[in-house]
Homo-oligomer: A and B are copies of this chain.
């Protein structure tokens, strides 16, 4: 079982979906945090079906292919439940902006750098607004009750909001830092 396989089981835990619906959901991060492309998803669905973790039924579709609907089998549900309680494998986060920040001293154009951080802050704030509206929607439906099916989505949004708030405000803080005294060579001798 691959991580993508588990991601698909997760996506199906609330009920059956077609391959195409899964593709659309996983374009924007599922649980606001996991993405996959169609070229990954379709082969993986076949694999899950072979393993007996999902049941896939086809009906005639619009194009040259059948429209397939997938749902968890009892074995799939069990596999998912077993995986849920295992400690997650730590995946290395890779983030361009943090990398750039680490090397910020190598920037020759600090104004352009500052603008980049402000643009990123704005992007994160826009995403944040989206998350907040979905969060409010789920709250209205009682998604904050941990016994409800919707609680998972609510809880991931909760984290997403906390994280992006910090990220956005950090971007603005950095932009501020870069605005201060732009000139004067550093008082160290360490510049090679």
Given A13-B105, A80-B103, 4 more pairs with CB closer than 8 A = A14-B190, A104-B155, A149-B191, A151-B177
Q: A98 contacts which of B108, B159, B181 (Cβ < 8 Å)?
A: B159
Measured between beta carbons, the chain B residues less than 8 angstroms from A94 are: 3, 33-35, 91
Measured between beta carbons, the chain B residues less than 8 angstroms from A19 are: none
- Range, interface on chain A: 35 or more
A153 at the B interface (CB under 8 A): yes
Query: Scoring A residues 9 to 39 as 1 if CB is less than 8 Å from chain B, else 0, what string do you get?
Result: 1100111000000000000011111110000
Q: A99 contacts which of B31, B104, B106, B112 (Cβ < 8 Å)?
A: B31
CB distance from A184 to the nearest CB of B (A): 6
A residues whose Cβ falls under 8 Å from a Cβ of B: 3, 6-7, 9-10, 13-15, 29-35, 71, 77, 80-81, 83-89, 91-109, 112-113, 116, 119-120, 146-149, 151-153, 155-156, 158-159, 162-163, 166-167, 170, 173-174, 177-178, 180-181, 184, 186, 188, 190-192
